[in-house]
C-alpha cells in the first residue's frame, strides 16, 4: 500500500489517529503524542482503583486469528482500565478454521456493534484489509500481522527506551537476531527513525536479514560483538521457527554460539546499556538467563509499559473517530 494511502487511512482530516495499523509514514510528532499520553496513563496502574472513564459505554473486541497471550492480555487490561466493555475472540479456533472468509468474519463481528476491533492475524495486511472494509466509525488496531507490523509493540519499546534513556537524538540502538521474520523489528526501525535516533543497527546472519533492509536507514552487521560496540540499547528478537522455510539456520545451538546475548558479549555495549526483548524469551537460544534476569534487563518493564501504550492508542483512536464523525456531520449540515 502506498505510504500516502496508508497515512490517510490511519489519520482523520485533522491528523488525529483513527486506525493504528502501521508506523509507516506516521509523523514523529504523533508518535511522541502517543508516548506522552502513555506516560500519563502509567500512574493509573499504581492506583487502588485502576480505571479512568475515557471509554465508558464503548465496546472493544479483541479478534485474534493468531494466538498471543501477552498481547491479548495487555489489550484486555488496557481497555478495561479505560472502562470499556471487552470481548475477546480466539477466531483461530472457530469460524475461519471452518472455512469462513475474512470478509464474512468481519461482517459478523460488525453485527456485534463493537466500537473498536483489535486484530491479530498471521497474514500480512489483514488489519489493513479490515480497516478498508469496516463500517464507518469503527476503529481498527493492528495487534500484529504476519511479517508486516506490530505497531503497539514498537511503541511500547519506544516508551521503554525513552523512560530509561531519555530522548532519542543521541542514542545507538542495536536490533539483534531474526530480522527477516520479525514484524517487531520493522516497527522498531520505523519508530526509531521517525523519533530521530541517529544510529540504528541490525545484527544477524545474512540468511535472517531482509534484502534491502538498509532502506530503513540502518547499519547492517553480521558480527555480534562488532555491532554491539558502544550501543545504548540492545533489542533481542525471538527466532521465529514457525515462519522459517528451508535451511536458514544450521541449528539453534549454532545461532546461540554466534548471536546469543551473553554477559561477555554484552560488555561490548555501553556499561549502562539496557537489554530488551519482545517475548516470549527462548533462553539459551537468543539470550542467556543471566542477561535476561540481570540488572541491565528491562524486559518486564516492557510488559508494564505495554498496557499504558495500548491505553494511549485505544483512547486516541476512539477520540479521532469521534472527531471525524463530528466533522462529517458538520459538513452534511452545511452542505
Binding-site residues for carbamoyl phosphate, in ranges, read 70-71, 120, 150, 153, 279-280
CA 4/CA 196 separation, integer angstroms: 21
**C-alpha cell of residue 43:** 500512574
Strand (E) positions, the chain?
Answer: 59-64, 85-90, 116-121, 139-145, 172-176, 199-203, 219-221, 233-236, 274-276
Residues making up the annotated binding site for L-aspartate are: 98, 183, 238
**What is the separation, in whole angstroms, between the first and last Cα of the chain?**
32
Q: Is 17 helix (H, G, I), strand (E, B) or coil?
A: strand
Give the distance, in angstroms, between the CA of residue 306 and the centroid of all CA atoms in the same chain: 9
Residues making up the annotated binding site are: 70-71, 98, 120, 150, 153, 183, 238, 279-280
Q: Is 283 helix (H, G, I), strand (E, B) or coil?
A: strand
With vertex at residue 84, the alpha carbon angle to CA 80 and CA 88, rounded to the nearest 5 degrees, is: 70
Phi, psi angles (nearest 5°) of residue 68: -170, 100
Amino acid at each position: 500500500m502506498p505510504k500516502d494511502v496508508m497515512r490517510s487511512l490511519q489519520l482523520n482530516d485533522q491528523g488525529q489517529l483513527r486506525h493504528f495499523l502501521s508506523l509507516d509514514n506516521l509523523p514523529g510528532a504523533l508518535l511522541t503524542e502517543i508516548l506522552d499520553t502513555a506516560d500519563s496513563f502509567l500512574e493509573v496502574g499504581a492506583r487502588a482503583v485502576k480505571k479512568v472513564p475515557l471509554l465508558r459505554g464503548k465496546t472493544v473486541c479483541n479478534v485474534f486469528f493468531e494466538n498471543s497471550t501477552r498481547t491479548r492480555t495487555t489489550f484486555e487490561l488496557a481497555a478495561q482500565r479505560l472502562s470499556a466493555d471487552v470481548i475477546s475472540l480466539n477466531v483461530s479456533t472457530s469460524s475461519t478454521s471452518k472455512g469462513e472468509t475474512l470478509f464474512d468474519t468481519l461482517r459478523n463481528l460488525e453485527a456485534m456493534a463493537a466500537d473498536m476491533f483489535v486484530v491479530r492475524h498471521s497474514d500480512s495486511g489483514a488489519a489493513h484489509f479490515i480497516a478498508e472494509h469496516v463500517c464507518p466509525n469503527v476503529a481498527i488496531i493492528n495487534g500484529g500481522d504476519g511479517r508486516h507490523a506490530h505497531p503497539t509493540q514498537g511503541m511500547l519499546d519506544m516508551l521503554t527506551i525513552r523512560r530509561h534513556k531519555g530522548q532519542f537524538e543521541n542514542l545507538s540502538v542495536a536490533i539483534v537476531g531474526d530480522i527477516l521474520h520479525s514484524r517487531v523489528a520493522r516497527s522498531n526501525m520505523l519508530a526509531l527513525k521517525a523519533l530521530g535516533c541517529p544510529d540504528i543497527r541490525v545484527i544477524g546472519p545474512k540468511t535472517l536479514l531482509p534484502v534491502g533492509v538498509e532502506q530503513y536507514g540502518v547499519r547492517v552487521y553480521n558480527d555480534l560483538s562488532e555491532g554491539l560496540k558502544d550501543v545504548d540499547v540492545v533489542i533481542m528478537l525471538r527466532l521465529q521457527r514457525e515462519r522459517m522455510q528451508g535451511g536458514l539456520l544450521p541449528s539453534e545451538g549454532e545461532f546461540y554460539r554466534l548471536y546469543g546475548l551473553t554477559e561477555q558479549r554484552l560488555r561490548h555495549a555501553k556499561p549502562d546499556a539496557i537489554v530488551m526483548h519482545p517475548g516470549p524469551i527462548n533462553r539459551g537460544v537468543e539470550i542467556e538467563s543471566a542477561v535476561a534476569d540481570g540488572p541491565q534487563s528491562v524486559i518486564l518493564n516492557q510488559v508494564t509499559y505495554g498496557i499504558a501504550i495500548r491505553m494511549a492508542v485505544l483512547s486516541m483512536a476512539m477520540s479521532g473517530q469521534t472527531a471525524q464523525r463530528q466533522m462529517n456531520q458538520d459538513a452534511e449540515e452545511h452542505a
